[in-house]
């Protein structure tokens, strides 16, 4: 039953471009229903790892199983059953520039379910667009008319078009303002909860890691050096991990998380500042 | 495994209950939305307690029905309640594409757009030519700002790399002219005039014209695509902020390379075409090369060479400027790089041919016949 427990199993993965080895003997498991954050310095091959898993990059060695099926060396036309079950959000959104946002969302639907009626297709595209936090009038817009953050949301709407079980997000909050990034985190978490999603999340955003990730995988020295909750990782004595989570930004994110937790706790206890003031009046 | 989505309409207890069963998800929803639309009679309650699995599509279909009929939904566990809340919150009609006009009006609109677009484009190109000349004057006044290395590199790309293809093309054109000329002129017993035809046609018209078309296709398109991509990746903006003028750093080297190389390539193409024609005359008409060369010197006035050499740099300037202009016009997306590249080539070739016609009239008028 291991394939039920682990949606993604990577074993002994090796990737190299020319002489440059990106991954060597990399192992990684992603459990069903978790949000796994993947972190690592620039150039450690986070995106390459994702591309290997979704079959855009053929590794030099190793095995990759997604939903219990090998994805290496498959032709693009093969493995459509697996492709139906995942959605991918690329860094820049990767929207099709000749289609409107709503049409972009419909592309996977039309591809995999050609029998859907146009009216229902339009409705599905509609609620997906609104669900990802875009205004309704963004539907008929072309990608070139959208801001960076809106492109990401539109990309997410397309990634979610098929109600996938597995979602790959490549730096979803990079380039978003803090409010937008927090909203994106909330969105990811609530979608994960309602749809039972498994999320493979590449990020540099420490707030995102603290807020929504169940486990974090750290990429360094050409492999995954550690996987675990942030607390577990903090207990490790690896210089990069310590620097990452205990550096000035890491601490700020931890503090912010503590403050949020404290505020929520206060509010639950009925004594948050706003209600206290109200009582005084 | 999982059953496809289905429902039953139970009218027993007064109001009527819709009971959904099976897998209410995208893959299994089937024709349920249509059948749901055909439900008649009163429905007071929707029961989802027997549903195996539900995703946003299933939730949407049920939500839409409940919304239209104003019916309550029962039997939700907390997770699917959350799902329904999210879908309901996202219920805001979205237009897929802006409505377009009716066909007759659209034809009018497109004609109008095309006309005003090409007028604007010609004006823009004119402005761009002015800007290029200004940049050139600027560089003349401050010669240190001239990008010597970039220009020489363009020389290689535009000129040296094109030698093979332009040579082959001209050689074949020379042979075709000779062959066709020989066939036609034989009817009058005037085969020897084939040499006049080859010499005058290639120096005066075809050598330069065909080279211009080839350079427009090879280099004009490359200019537009390069500058367009640089515009998209904000390289040109970065250049401006550093204080480097893109006109001086990118446009001038390309335009100068196009001008100089057109001059050299045009001459080269004419010579190769004459060689091709000479070889064919030797093979088909039995005119030995030495006679051919002597005849060429007798029948081709030097003004023919001048005409070619005057036209070539003008064509080069047109090609270079059209390419750079369209490249700089790229604004939003990758598709524009493609359409602008096409526009650059089409406009360059069009202008070259129009100008060629004007040149023909002009040179006839000043007596270089």
State chain A's mean pLDDT as an integer: 81
CB pairs under 8 A between A and B: 95
Domain coordinates in residue numbering, chain B: 6-89, 131-365
Calculate the average pLDDT of chain B: 89
Whether the per-residue pLDDT at A270 is higher than 60: the answer is no
Say yes or no to pLDDT of B253 above 80: yes
Residues β-bridged to residue A105 = none
Does the distance separating the beta carbons of B60 and A123 come in below 8 Å?
Answer: yes
pLDDT digits (tens, 9 = 90+) for B87-126: 888 887 777 777 777 888 889 999 999 999 989 988 999 9
What integer is the mean pLDDT of B219-237? 92
The answer to whether B56 contacts A129, with C-beta atoms less than 8 Å apart, is no
| Edge-to-edge strands, sheet with A6-17 | A20-31, A6-17, A61-66, A69-70
Q: Which chain B residues have a beta carbon less than 8 Å from that of A84? A: 27
State the Cα–Cα distance between residues B237 and B244, nearest whole angstrom.
Answer: 10
Between B61, B83, B333, which is nearest A194 by CB? B83
Paired tokens of B340: 């602008």
On chain B, the residues whose CB falls within 8 A of the CB of A142 are 333
Length of chain B: 369
Cα separation, B255 vs B221, in Å, equals 13
Confidence (pLDDT) at A129 = 87
**Are the CB atoms for B184 and B193 separated by under 8 Å?**
no
pLDDT for position B250: 92
Taking residues A164-168, report their average pLDDT: 88
Going by C-alpha positions, the residue among B97, B33, B5, B73 that lies closest to residue A126 is B97
Using an 8 Å Cβ cutoff, are A140 and B133 in contact? no
CB contact under 8 A, A130 and B27: no
- A49-79 per-position pLDDT tens digit: 888 888 888 888 888 888 888 877 666 666 6
- Is the confidence metric ipTM above 0.90 for this complex? no
- Report for A132-141, A250-259, B291-300: range of highest mean pLDDT: B291-300
Confidence of residue A249 (pLDDT cuts 50, 70, 90): confident
- B32/chain A closest Cα distance in angstroms: 11
Question: Is A127 in Cβ contact with B335 (below 8 Å)?
Answer: no
The count of other CB atoms within 10 Å of the CB of residue B57 is 29
With a cut of 70, say whether residue B154 has pLDDT above it. Answer: yes
Which residues contact residue B155 at a Cβ distance below 8 angstroms, ignoring those fewer than 6 apart? B257, B260, B261
**∠ CA B223-B227-B229, rounded to 5°:** 120
Could you tell me which CATH number the domain at B6-89 has? 3.30.750.24
- Tens digits of residue pLDDT in B170-184: 999 999 999 999 999
So what's the pLDDT on residue A268?
A: 61
pLDDT at B245: 87
Residue spans of beta strands (DSSP E) within chain B: 6-10, 17-24, 45-47, 51-54, 72-74
Q: Phi/psi of residue B75, each to 5°?
A: 75, 35
Over residues A205-215, mean pLDDT: 86
Q: Which residue has the tokens 């006009």?
A: B101
| DSSP assignment letter at B4 | B
Distances (CA, A) of A226 to A10, A39, A111, B79: 14, 10, 38, 32
* B2 vs A: CB within 8 A: no
What average pLDDT does range A250-254 have in this prediction?
A: 77
For residues B158 and A4, the model is more confident at B158
pLDDT above 50 for A150? yes
Task: Identify the band that residue A256 occupies on the pLDDT scale cut at 50, 70 and 90.
Answer: confident
Confidence grade of residue A2 (pLDDT, cut at 50, 70, 90): very low
């Amino acid at each position: 039953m291991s394939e039920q427990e682990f949606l993604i199993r990577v074993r002994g993965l090796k990737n190299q471009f020319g002489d440059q080895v990106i991954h060597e003997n990399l192992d990684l498991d992603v459990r069903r229903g978790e949000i796994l954050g993947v972190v690592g310095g620039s150039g450690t091959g986070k995106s390459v790892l994702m591309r290997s898993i979704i079959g855009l990059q053929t590794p030099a060695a190793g095995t990759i199983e997604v939903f219990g099926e090998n994805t290496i060396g498959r032709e693009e036309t093969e493995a459509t059953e697996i492709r139906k079950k995942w959605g991918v959000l690329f860094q820049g959104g990767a929207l099709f520039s000749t289609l409107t946002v709503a049409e972009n969302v419909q592309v996977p639907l039309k591809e995999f379910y050609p029998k859907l009626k146009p009216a229902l297709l339009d409705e599905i595209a509609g609620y997906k667009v609104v669900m990802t936090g875009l205004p309704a009038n963004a539907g008929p817009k072309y990608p070139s008319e959208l801001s960076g953050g809106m492109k990401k949301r539109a990309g997410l709407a397309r990634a979610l078009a098929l109600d996938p079980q597995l979602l790959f997000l490549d730096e979803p909050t990079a380039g978003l303002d803090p409010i937008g990034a927090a909203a994106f985190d909330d969105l990811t978490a609530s979608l994960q909860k309602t749809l039972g999603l498994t999320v493979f999340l590449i990020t540099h955003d420490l707030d995102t890691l603290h807020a929504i990730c169940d486990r974090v995988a750290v990429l360094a020295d050409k492999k995954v050096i550690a996987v675990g909750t942030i607390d577990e990782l903090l207990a490790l004595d690896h210089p990069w991990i310590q620097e990452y989570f205990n550096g000035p930004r890491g601490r700020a994110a931890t503090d912010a998380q503590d403050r949020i937790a404290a505020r929520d706790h206060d509010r639950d206890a009925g004594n948050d500042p706003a209600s206290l003031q109200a009582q005084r009046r | 495994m999982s059953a496809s989505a289905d429902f039953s309409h139970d009218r027993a207890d007064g109001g009527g209950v819709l009971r959904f069963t099976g897998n209410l998800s995208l893959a299994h929803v089937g024709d349920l939305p249509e059948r749901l639309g055909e439900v008649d009679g009163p429905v007071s309650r929707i029961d989802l307690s027997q549903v195996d699995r539900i995703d946003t599509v299933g939730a949407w279909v049920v939500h839409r029905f409940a919304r239209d009929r104003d019916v309550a939904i029962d039997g939700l566990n907390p997770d699917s309640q959350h799902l329904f809340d999210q879908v309901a919150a996202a219920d805001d009609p979205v237009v897929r594409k802006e409505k377009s006009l009716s066909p007759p009006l659209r034809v009018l609109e497109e004609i109008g757009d095309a006309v005003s677009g090409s007028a604007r484009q010609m004006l823009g190109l004119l402005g761009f030519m002015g800007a290029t000349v200004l940049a050139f004057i600027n560089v003349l006044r401050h010669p240190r700002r001239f990008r010597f290395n970039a220009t020489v590199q363009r020389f290689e790309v535009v000129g040296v790399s094109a030698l093979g293809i332009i040579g082959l093309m001209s050689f074949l054109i020379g042979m075709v002219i000779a062959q066709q000329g020989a066939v036609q002129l034989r009817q009058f017993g005037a085969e020897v005039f084939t040499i006049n035809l080859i010499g005058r046609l290639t120096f005066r018209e075809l050598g330069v014209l065909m080279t211009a078309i080839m350079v427009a296709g090879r280099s004009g398109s490359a200019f537009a695509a390069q500058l367009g991509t640089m515009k998209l990746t904000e390289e040109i903006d970065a250049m401006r902020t550093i204080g480097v003028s893109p006109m001086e750093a990118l446009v001038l080297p390309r335009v100068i390379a196009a001008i100089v190389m057109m001059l050299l390539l045009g001459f080269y193409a004419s010579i190769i075409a004459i060689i091709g024609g000479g070889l064919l005359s030797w093979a088909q008409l039995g005119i030995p090369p030495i006679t051919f060369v002597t005849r060429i010197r007798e029948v081709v006035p030097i003004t023919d060479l001048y005409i070619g050499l005057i036209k070539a740099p003008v064509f080069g300037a047109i090609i270079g400027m059209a390419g750079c202009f369209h490249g700089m016009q790229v604004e939003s997306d990758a598709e524009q790089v493609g359409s602008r590249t096409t526009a650059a080539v089409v406009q360059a070739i069009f202008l070259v041919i129009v100008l060629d016609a004007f040149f023909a009239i002009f040179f006839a008028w000043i007596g270089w016949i």
